[in-house]
Chains A and B, each alone.
Chain A
Amino acid sequence: AQTVTQSQPEMSVQEAETVTLSCTYDTSENNYYLFWYKQPPSRQMILVIRQEAYKQQNATENRFSVNFQKAAKSFSLKISDSQLGDTAMYFCAFMKPSSGNTPLVFGKGTRLSVIA
């Protein structure tokens, strides 16, 4: 079974600074997908960024980028130029490829606070 571990329950960062959230996972699959979801206070979880394991290039979405280390099974999220609106719970998630409704496997989450 796949597992996802987020070792940082809480983090804080000053506005405009850069912060990196850690995520490791365990799987015997060779192809899979990794995701970072963001859940602002009292709001829905939304997808931030997605990485396909077969792609060597790290995914980037504006200020959000990942450092995907397949051999180390590590998938960290870097947020550059942090903004107050980035304050949220961040969940790392894993999905193995399937033609069906394969469930996401989530980590416990990291609560990020951006401080003015």
Chain B
Amino acid sequence: EPEVTQTPSHQVTQMGQEVILRCVPISNHLYFYWYRQILGQKVEFLVSFYNNEISEKSEIFDDQFSVERPDGSNFTLKIRSTKLEDSAMYFCASSEFRGAGAGELFFGEGSRLTVL
């Protein structure tokens, strides 16, 4: 069964360093998302992406964050200069449809980011 894959599963970085989290969505999906979950907190929406541009983003997704789909298969989240509060589990998701049908998101296993 097709699934969303994420790498790395865990990354430890120093504050101020750049981090790139990678995701391979399901191949026929057109809508892509990043969510994150700080330990003990809610899963929070970061950004959605369609047709090579950002569709919607949350307040969390500031200038330190960027997304791109560089080669038609990978979907990456870049954090330019990491802060301690960026430590979280980052989930990539994709969906075939948008709107109500987009409620069925297919999630990856997550990338745990630890900022020291």
Contact = CB atoms under 8 A, between A and B. Distances in A.
Interface in B97-114: 98-100, 102-109
B56 A100 contact: yes
Contact of B48 (A43, A91, A103): A103
Interface in A88-111: 91, 93, 95, 97-109
Indicate the size class of the contact surface on chain B.
20 to 34
Interface string A39-82: 10011111100101000000000000000000000000000000
A95 B41 contact: no
Interface residues of A, number: 29
Contacts, number: 73
A44 B109 contact: yes
B50 A101 contact: yes
Residue in B4, B43, B102, B105 with the greatest tally of chain A CB atoms within 10 Å: B43
A69 B81 CA distance: 45
Nearest to A32: B100
A106 B38 CA distance: 13
A25 interface: no
Contacts of A99: 98-99
Contacts of B100: 33, 52, 95, 97
Contacts of A101: 31, 33, 48-50, 55-56, 98, 102
A95 B97 CA distance: 14
Top 7 A-B pairs, shortest CB-CB distance:
A103-B45, A101-B48, A106-B43, A45-B107, A101-B55, A44-B107, A108-B42
16 contacts: A33-B103, A35-B103, A44-B107, A46-B106, A46-B107, A91-B43, A93-B103, A95-B102, A98-B99, A101-B102, A102-B56, A102-B102, A103-B33, A108-B40, A108-B42, A109-B43
